Structure formats: structure tokens, C-alpha cells
Amino acid sequence: MSSDVPLLSMRGITKRFAAVEALVGVDLDVHAHEVVALVGDNGAGKSTLAKMVSGVLAPDAGFIEIAGEQVTIPTPTAARGLGIATVFQDLALCENLDVTSNLFLGRELRLGASRDDSRMEQIARQVLRDLNSRIPSVRSPLSSLSAGQRQSVAIARTLIGSPRIVVLDEPTAALSVAQTAEVLVHIERLRDLGLGVILISHNMTDVRAVSDRIVVLRHGRNNGTFDAAAVSHETVLAAITGATSAELTPRSLPPLSPLLR
Amino acid sequence: MTTDTNLAPAAPPGSKPRVPLSQRMQGLGGNARQYGIFGALVVIVLLFQVLTDGKLLLANNVAALFQQNAYVMILAIGMVMVIVAGHIDLSVGSVVAFVGGIVAVTMRDFDMPWVVAILIGLAVGGVVGAWQGFWVAYVGIPAFIVTLAGMLVFRGLALVIVGETVAGLPSQFIAISKGSLPNFLGFASNMDVVTLLIGALAIVAIVVSQLRARSSLRKHELYVEPLGAFVAKLALIAIGIGILTVILSFSAGGTPIVLVIVGVLVVAYTFLMGRTVFGRHIYAIGGNRLAAGLSGVNTRRVDFWIFVNMGVLAGAAAIVTTARAGAAIAAAGQNFELDAIAACFIGGAAVTGGIGRISGAIVGALIMGVLNMGLSIMSVDPSWQMAIKGLVLLLAVAFDLINKRRAGTQ
């Protein structure tokens, strides 16, 4: 399932916002061909950690290695240069532009002084086909697409420029059941393509459906890493909430997900 | 792809066979909406042609239409870029007076050749734009405030430079706005051959470039519009330019020099906005500034250069305005910013940014120009002209909004 040297390795990551300790000494490994779910309650530091991988925030302490080499990731552009692609929680897409333009935003292909629109459109179609995405046309403006289709575009975007690591921050939060299923299929496609995927989600059903490993954060600290195939709901929930699994009966669970049985 | 050319777009292998018409129209980048503005211009022209008993389209009136409105078109080109990026520029009228003063003083008091004065004018415009762009892009002050300040600052500086009217400018300079291309090829049954030649070249250039774009799309197996629509579009463009050319060739001077200037600017900026990475980034910033930034677009740099560009174009408008007046006055350019902004909004730009085209802004400027000229020929009182223009602006935007809402609820 995973190779020896992790694609991404974070060690002792610490981040403070004024007096608040968002992350304290957090470790995270992601291998190729692996979906790592990053779970935790609100404010556990999941998004903060993801933002460091995507170059939006810089850690105060700790280091990041990509394929065994220590790196700094000062900007989103630098992250992309290192082969890290991110789907942000608040969909970073432009509604007035069409699908192709959004896929290539910030890394347009050039042909002399102008853009190479034909080639970008060809690649856009290829990428959407790779994902088995159901977008009517790569020339549709984003404003005409459904929430699920937009999420498909956001995920397809990560494939432009052949990344090694994809970070997905709550990709299914605003989606219907059918749309969620489609996005989960996309995530599996990313793994099949050999990428390392970091999936941040509140939804334990989604997490268990696609992830290989589950990393739990609680109050900005590591609170357990589990094999997704072997671990029980209760164990993960206990790690998230800080309760011992014996205390948790299904009825007393916090309403983490309506899909939870 | 060598099948029957009468077929609707040949679907590329492996893609979905048919795309709904509505989506295809959207896919064309709102072309349908563009055709709507052109249609409105044609209707207004025909309306005033009737109301003025055919005086509107007299050759000399058409030439004057361009000479009188060149400044709006030049400013609207820059303004539409500013508006698409989600900003506004209220200072361009004052900048026109300021730069106009500098250009005139350079020629009269410092005895510089007119060409040098023009270059200085454009450069000063660029510096003014850089000043405002700095505050907007790198300090983060809203453009409304920065350019409101600029409106006062540069009007004040214009008053300092142009204490009294600076007249007595070289005739070559004045010819920029009042002159026409020399008709050195003579006349063919009263028609200026140079004008006819330019018109013919323009038609050929458009047809060739459209055909090349189409064949490139085909080569890459991408969607092309139906052949019938394509031919109809080209035919309408050719007929439109043809009519304009023939009318202008009967005018006293032939092709106004400002029309050539505006034409070159329109072609250059349509390319910039439509085909370059910079243009794409302007639209992206206007659509979702945060997303553009996260995607790696250098939003500050784009903002900065948009304002530098607006400044240079304001400089160009200053040159045209000063040449037309034959003198620099401190009160020049009053309300020019409003003319340019109105042209953009009539031409379909969105107040919220992200939407707008060079061609739309130019057509918007022409609609205002035709209204001006038509109402003047009918000797409508200037006060009423102003009121009518205001209503047209309001109705144009309201019509657009209602259309969009209806499309949205479907």
C-alpha cells in the first residue's frame, strides 16, 4: 500500500495564533497511493495543518519533508512547484470563468504572447475524463454548474501540472448524497493515479469509505493514528472527543454526522 | 472531420454528443449578450436616422461622430479593464486636464516637438496611473477613495499648470483630432480611395483571422460554432464595416486620424483581454479575488498594471482632447470619467466585476455618441439631452439585470 520513504512527512509542527496554540508538535506522514484522513473536532487544527502543506501558513516550529528532502513552503505557488495541489474549503474557483480557465488559473499555458487555449481545452477534457467527471462542457462557466460539478472541477484542478500530493479540505461538506458519492469516487481515482491524498473531513462515513489511514487531531495535538480498515467507529470517535471508547454509546454521541449509524 | 459541412458541430470523438443550446451560448462567452448590444446600437442609429430625416448618417456627421467621441472610447477601453477587475476610476477626467496641460506647456513654453510632447504626455499618464495603482494594489485603499482623491489632486494640479488657456499649438498636433488621413490615392467617383482600401483591408483581416481561429479549433477537435452562424456573423461584420467605409469615404476628409488610433487600440486591447494570460487574470480577479490569489495569480501586480494602463490611456485621451480643442484648459475633461463609466455599463460590464468586454465598452460609447449627435441634430435642449442619456444608462442596466434574473430562474 505504501512505499518506504513517505511522500510528505511533517514533524513537530507547531503554530500559534497570538495566545492560541493551534498546533503543538504534530506529526503527519503521507505515502504515495495512500489516502490519509485528517479528522478532529472543530478547532482541532486540521485546516491549519493543511494550510501549511499548501503554503498558505508557515509553521512556527517543526519541519516538512517531501520525498525525504526538507523543504519550506512559503506560498501556494511554491507548494505547487513542489507537487502539492490543494482544494480549499471555500472553493477557490472563479464563477465568471469557464471550466478550462478555472482548471488552469494561475498556470496558464502560453503560446508566444497569447494563451494556448486549444491545448488547455484539450488537457482539461482529458483530465475530466480521467476523473470520470460529469461536466457538460469544458466551456461552461462555473456559475452554470451544480455544487457537485464545481467540486469535480476543483478536484480536477489538482491534476493539472502532475502533482504528487493532493490536499482536500472538507470536499463533501456542502454536497448532496449523490454528489458526495461522486466526489468519493474522484478521491479513489486520485489514489489509483498514484498520488498521496490528505482528506480533511467531519464525515466519518466518507472517511471510512475512502481512506487508508485515519489521523486524529485533538486540541492541536496528535491523538492517535488508525488503520481505516481495522478500526471501529467508536475508537476513532473516542480519539476525536477525548472520551474513552467505553464511555461512548451510540446514543450519547455528539451529532457528528447524520449519516452515522 | 471531413464530413458534411452542413452538419451542426461535429462532436469530437469520445465527448458527449450534444450540449444544450443554452450552455453552448454560455460557452461562447456570452456572445448572445454581445449581439444584443450591437443590435441596440443598430436600432438607435436607425431610429435617429429616421428622426433626423437622414442627417445622422451624412458622411461628415459620421466622421464627426468618431472625432467627438474618440476620447470616450479610449477611456472606456481602460475603464472596462478597471471595472472588470472590480475597481473604479473617478480621476480620469482630472488626469485628462492635467496631462493635457503638461502636453500643451511642453510644446508652447519649452518648444519641444509635438512628437516628444505626446510621448511625455503618455509617460506622465503612466506615472499618474502608477501613483494610484500603488495605493490601490500595495496599500490596499479602495480604488473609489484613491481615485476620488486623484480627481481632486489632478484637477488642482491642472489648475496650477494651466493658469490660463494654453493655445497656439502646432498644426500637426491639432491634426490628431481634427485631421484625416491624406487621400494621396485620389478619388473613385467621389470616394476617398485610402478609406476604401483601409475598409477592405479591415474586412479581409477579420475574415482571415476568424477563419484561422476556426480551423485551429477544428484541428484540435474542439467545438466550433455552426457554419451557418459563422458565415452569417462574418457577413454582418463585413457589411457593417463596408457601409461605414463607404459613408466615410464620401466625407470631407476621408478617414479621421483618431478613428485609426481608436481602431488600433481596440484590436490591441481586445487581444490583451481575450487572448493573453494577463487578460485572463483580470477577469479572474474580478470574479473571485481570493480564489485568484490562492491559485497563484499575483493580484497586486495585476491591479497595479491595470491602473498604470488606465493612466496611459487617460494620457492618450488628454492628447486627443487637447488636440481637438486646439488648446489646454484647466476645466478640460469635466465628467469624462462618468462618460467612460457609463459606456462600460451600457456595454454590459458588471458593477460587481468579472464581466465586461472591450467591444461592449466601445459600442456603449457609440450608443452615447449617437444619442448626443442625434439629439443635437434635432436641436434638443442640452439639459434634456443630459436627462435622456441618464435614463438610457439606467434602462440599459435595468434591462440587462432583468434578463439575467430571468435566465437565472429558468
Domain map (residue ranges) of chain A: 8-93+164-241
Cα–Cα distance measured from residue A94 to residue A102, given in angstroms and rounded to the nearest whole number: 7
By the CB < 8 Å criterion, does A146 face chain B? no
The amino acid present at B14, given as its one-letter code, is: G
pLDDT in tens, B328-355: 998 899 999 999 999 999 998 888 889 9
pLDDT at B18 > cutoff 50: no
In angstroms, the CA B85 to CA B286 distance is 4
Contact B91, B359 (CB under 8 A): no
CA distance B361 to B359: 5
Q: Please tell me the predicted confidence (pLDDT) of residue A1.
A: 44
Say which DSSP state A252 is in. G
**Cell 461592449, residue located:** B360
Q: Does domain A8-93+164-241 have CATH number 3.40.50.1820?
A: no
Handedness of CA A91, A92, A94, A99 (dihedral sign): negative
Asked whether residue A255 carries a pLDDT value surpassing 90, the answer given is: no
* Cβ contact A191:A158 at 8 Å: no
Q: Which of A115, A118, A137 sits opposite B23 (nearest CB)?
A: A137
Its pTM stands at 0.83
For residue B135, the SS3 value is helix
Of the candidates A73, A96, A90, A212, the one whose C-alpha atom is nearest the C-alpha of residue A154 is A90
Residues in chain B: 410
- Select the residue of B26, B222, B297 nearest A141 (Cβ to Cβ): B26
- Measured between CA atoms, the residue of chain B closest to residue A54 is B294
Residue A217 has which C-alpha cell? 487531531
Q: Are A101 and B280 inside 8 Å of each other by CB?
A: yes
Predicted pLDDT at A256: 54
Cβ proximity of A72 and A66 under 8 Å? no
Is the Cα dihedral B326, B332, B337, B339 positive or negative? negative
Would you place residue B310 in the very low, low, confident or very high pLDDT band (cuts 50, 70, 90)?
very high
Interface check A92 vs B, CB under 8 A? yes
Q: Cα–Cα distances in Å, from B361 out to B26, B81, B83, B270, B339?
A: 20, 10, 11, 11, 11
Which range (A172-176, B54-58, B269-273, B372-376) has the least confidence? A172-176
> What pLDDT, in 10s, does the model give residues B34-90?
677 888 888 999 999 999 988 888 888 899 999 999 999 999 999 999 999 999 999
Contacts A114 to B, Cβ<8 Å: 271, 275-276
Point out the residue among A80, A136, A139 whose CB comes nearest to the CB of B16.
Answer: A136
Confirm or reject contact between A56 and chain B (CB < 8 A): yes
Instruction: Name the residue of chain B whose CA is nearest to A158's CA.
Output: B295
The residue-averaged pLDDT of A190-216 equals 89
Reduce the DSSP state of residue A13 to 3 states and report it. strand
Task: Write down the residue that cell numbers 452569417 correspond to.
Answer: B232
pLDDT digits (tens, 9 = 90+) for B158-208: 999 988 888 888 888 888 888 888 877 777 777 888 889 899 999 999 999
CA B206 to CA B217: how far, in whole Å? 17
Write the DSSP assignment of B171-205 as a string of letters: HHHHHHHH-B---TT-EETTEEHHHHHHHHHHHHH
CA distance A32 to B283: 36
Q: What is the pLDDT of residue B266?
A: 94
Q: Do B286 and A96 touch (CB under 8 A)?
A: yes
pLDDT confidence of B33, banded at 50, 70, 90?
Answer: low
Q: In Å, what is the CA distance from A98 to each residue of B18, B35, B266, B404, B410? A: 18, 20, 24, 17, 20
Contact status, residue A98 vs residue B28, Cβ threshold 8 Å: no
pLDDT at A157 over 90: no
| CA B223 to chain centroid | 29
A72/A66 Cα distance (integer angstroms):
10
**Segment (H or E) for B159:** helix B143-161
Highest mean pLDDT among A159-163, B153-157, B214-218: B153-157
Confidence band, pLDDT 50/70/90 cuts, at residue B16: very low
Stretch A12-35: mean pLDDT, rounded? 89
Which residues of chain B have a Cβ shorter than 8 Å from any chain A Cβ?
14-16, 19-20, 23-24, 26-29, 216-217, 219-223, 271, 275-277, 280, 283-284, 286-288, 290-292, 294-297, 354-355
Chain B interface includes A144 (CB < 8 A): yes
Rg (CA), chain A: 19
Whether residues B294 and A136 touch (CB distance < 8 A) is answered with no
Give the other-Cβ count within 10 Å of A147's Cβ: 13
Confidence of residue B4 (pLDDT cuts 50, 70, 90): very low
Answer with the residue of higher pLDDT: B13 or B78.
B78
Is the separation of the CB atoms in B133 and B190 below 8 Å? no
For an interface test with A, give the residue of B22, B214, B218, B280 to mutate (most A CBs within 10 A).
B280
The Cβ of residue A214 has, within 10 Å, a number of other Cβ atoms equal to 24
- Exposure letters B207-228 (e unless 16+ CB within 10 A, then b): eeeeeeeeeebeeebbbbbeee
User: Is B146 in contact with B135 (CB distance < 8 Å)?
Assistant: yes
Which residues partner with A23 through β-bridges? A15
Average pLDDT, chain B: 86
For the beta carbon of residue B57, count every other beta carbon within 10 angstroms: 17
pLDDT at B21: 44
- Residue B24's pLDDT is what? 42
* Residue B381 CB partners (closer than 8 Å, separation 6+): none
Asked whether the beta carbons of residue A118 and residue B284 sit closer than 8 angstroms, the reply is no
Angle (nearest 5°) at CA B217 between B216 and B222: 150
Nearest to B287 among A80, A96, A137 (CB): A96
The strand pairing partners of B29, in sequence order, are none
Hey, how many other C-beta atoms are within 10 angstroms of the C-beta on B410?
Answer: 6
The confidence score (pLDDT) of residue B296 equals 82
Residue B382 DSSP SS3: helix
How far apart are the C-alpha atoms of B205 and B196, rounded to whole Å? 14
Res. A106 pLDDT band, cuts 50 70 90: confident
User: Which residues are bridge partners to A20 per DSSP?
Assistant: A17
Residue A189's pLDDT is 87
Q: In this predicted structure, what is the pLDDT of residue B302?
A: 96
Q: Mean pLDDT of all residues in chain A? A: 84
Structure confidence by residue, pLDDT tens digits, B219-252? 776 777 888 888 988 998 899 899 999 898 888 8
Name which of B146, B166, B149, B152 is nearest B94 in CA terms: B152
Q: Which pLDDT value is given to residue B150?
A: 96
Put simply, the answer to whether B291 touches A139 (Cβ < 8 Å) is no
Tell me which chain B residues have a C-beta less than 8 angstroms from the C-beta of A129: 14
User: What distance in Å separates the CA atoms of residue B171 and residue B233, rounded to the nearest whole number?
Assistant: 41
**pLDDT at residue A91, rounded to an integer:** 67
What is the enclosing helix (H) or strand (E) of B71? helix B59-84
Mean pLDDT of A59-87: 87
Helix spans in B253-352 (H): 257-275, 277-287, 289-294, 299-325, 336-346
Q: Residue A57 CA to chain centroid, in angstroms?
A: 16
How many other CB atoms are there within 10 angstroms of residue B35's CB atom? 13
Note whether B217 contacts A118, CB cutoff 8 Å: yes
B-chain CB neighbours of A105 within 8 Å are 280, 284, 291-292, 295-297
Confidence of residue B308 (pLDDT cuts 50, 70, 90): very high
- Which residues from A are below 8 Å from B284, CB to CB? 94, 97, 101, 105
Among the listed ranges A132-136, B107-111, B194-198, which one has the minimum average pLDDT value?
Answer: A132-136
For residue A224, pLDDT over 70 is answered with yes
Residue reference for cell 464545481: A150
Residue found under cell 498546533: A23
The answer for B271, left when phi > 0, alpha when psi is -120 to 50, beta otherwise, is: alpha
Q: Which residue has the cell 500637426?
A: B172
Amino acid found at B41: L
Nearest CA to B280 among A202, A203, A104?
A104
The pLDDT value recorded for residue A254 is 53
Q: Indicate the helix (H) or strand (E) that contains A200.
A: strand A196-200
Q: Cα–Cα distance between B324 and B332 in angstroms, integer?
A: 11
| Residues across chain A | 261
Express as a percent the part of chain B with pLDDT over 90.
52
CA distance A213 to A209: 11
- Whether the per-residue pLDDT at A198 is higher than 90: the answer is yes
Chain A (104-143) residues lying within 8 Å, Cβ to Cβ, of chain B: 105-108, 110, 113-115, 117-119, 121-122, 125, 129, 136-137, 139-141
What is the reported pLDDT for A130?
79
DSSP B304-319: HHHHHHHHHHHHHHHH
Q: Quick one: which of B216, B121, B103 has its CA closest to B162?
A: B103
pLDDT tens digits, residue range B274-286? 999 999 999 999 9
